[in-house]
Amino acid sequence: MTGVLLRSGAATDVGRLRTINQDRFVLLPDRDLFIVADGMGGHQGGEVASQLAVETLRVAYQDATADALTEAIAAANDRIRNEGDADPDLRGMGTTVVALALMPEEPDPDGPFDDDAEAPQHLLIANVGDSRGYLFRDGSLTQLTEDHSVVADLVREGSISPEEAEVHPQRNIVTRVLGVYETVEVDLWPVDPIGNDRYLLCSDGLFNEVGADQIGSVLRRLGDPNEAASELVRLANEGGGRDNITVVIVDVVDDGDVAEAASTALPTVDPGESLSEDALDSARTGRPSLRQRRAEKRARRSQRTQLTWRALLFSVLVLAVIGGAVATIQWYGTSTYFVGFEGDEVVIFKGRPGGLLWIDPTVKEPTGIDRADVPAPALPRIKAGVEQSSLAKAKRFVANLEDQIDEGGGTGPTTSTTRSTTTADTTPTQAN
């Protein structure tokens, strides 16, 4: 088994304005665990909280698993809360924590690799509060964690810009913290360790004073993790040093093949060189490496998932279009009324004269008017069906027809408008 090899360094300083350093860090290279905690709270609370956090994690984190790390952080939360409750001087103390740990990947529940001795490793960053984890890879710096702070929330919801956040008066208020509430929610950020990766854990005393460009250029320039950490602390003091500053740097010296697996898993990244190395590797061992097989499996699964989703989405769209058309036709076929004959009786139908596709008109209301009574001029129109846009209008047409029958024939209804209009139209011409 190859295994990932890490090398670490750190620096911390009280800064230029504070008298006490409430930041704590711990490097445990034997267990591949690295922690930064930034304590807060009056009197001595802040430094006690951050000290309790690193101490509890050191003791409680025994198995290299994500659950163990989360549980160790929860244990630290309980411990700080209990000590704070017991001592009035420490009441309300709290701390951030950002931790980096190397661990085997969780076994794939439906994978056939359970009996394989070699499990790929990955790095896991755990975060509570506004201390940060960064990755410096291929010359560029990426913030991996999300701050749990008031200003970070405001930036995420678009209320203020990242530039405004940097000078915001509430930029020190955290929304998640260890030691204050009964439970703690931990963010976990898994990363594949790749050779030459540099991981940076730091308190806000660094990034509030030193820009990302500057941090990147130090990590590019100084290969030794201790030297780079000290230089970053120096720059933070130069920038103002308004808070305690703590920097932990963890370098991936040997990634134990993870780089190849990662590039196979992401076929969009130029796979040329790594793939040919994998091919060489397969040729030597006579079978693809475990990582290669796992990566291929992962890629296949995600492709399958994508296809399934695409097919499902397409079906849903097709059904929606068909459903919409059916509903439209149904509406068009039944939304109107017409007056016509059923046998020898004049009735009001719901629907279109002659029907529409599968929709036959239905009798809505008989009128009791016999074909024989209908004035001759109106006969052809009623035979064809006189369309009306509503039942009320159809009834008005029928009432109009009855009036004309009562008046003794006449020209019959000539319009489908209201009775008074029809009367005005027809009566005078008839009378004179």
Q: Kindly tell me which of 38 and 147 has the beta carbon lying closer to Mn ion.
A: 38
Q: Provide the sign of the torsion angle of the four alpha carbons 306, 308, 314, 316, taken in this order.
A: negative
Residue 221 amino acid letter: R
Does position 231 bind Mn ion by CB under 5 A? no
Q: Which of 13, 147, 197, 204 binds Mn ion (CB under 5 A)?
A: 204
Which region among 103-111, 238-246, 361-369, 387-395 touches Mn ion (by CB under 5 A)? 238-246
Q: Kindly tell me which of 173 and 399 has the beta carbon lying closer to Mn ion.
A: 173
Q: Kindly tell me which of 171 and 198 has the beta carbon lying closer to Mn ion.
A: 171
Find the shortest distance in angstroms from Cβ 231 to Mn ion: 19
Find the shortest distance in angstroms from Cβ 318 to Mn ion: 56
Q: Which of 38, 192, 278, 387 binds Mn ion (CB under 5 A)?
A: 38
Does position 130 bind Mn ion by CB under 5 A? no
Q: What is the DSSP string of 97-128?
A: EEEEEEEEPPPPTT-S-TT-S---EEEEEEEE
* Beta-bridge partner residues of 136: 141, 198
Q: Kindly tell me which of 50 and 292 has the beta carbon lying closer to Mn ion.
A: 50
Size of the site for Mn ion (CB under 5 A): 5
Which region among 10-18, 219-227, 241-249, 258-266 touches Mn ion (by CB under 5 A)? 241-249
Which region among 177-185, 201-209, 214-222, 260-268 touches Mn ion (by CB under 5 A)? 201-209
Structure tokens at 126: 């755990």
Does position 243 bind Mn ion by CB under 5 A? yes
Which region among 196-204, 248-256, 260-268, 380-388 touches Mn ion (by CB under 5 A)? 196-204
CA-wise closest residue to 201 among 387, 389, 363, 23:
23
Interatomic CA distance for residues 71 and 61, integer angstroms: 8
Q: Provide the sign of the torsion angle of the four alpha carbons 64, 66, 67, 69, taken in this order.
A: positive
Find the shortest distance in angstroms from Cβ 205 to Mn ion: 5
Q: What is the DSSP string of 34-94?
A: EEEEEEE-TTTHHHHHHHHHHHHHHHH--SSSHHHHHHHHHHHHHHHHHHHHH-GGGTT-E
Site residues, Mn ion (CB under 5 A): 38, 203-205, 243
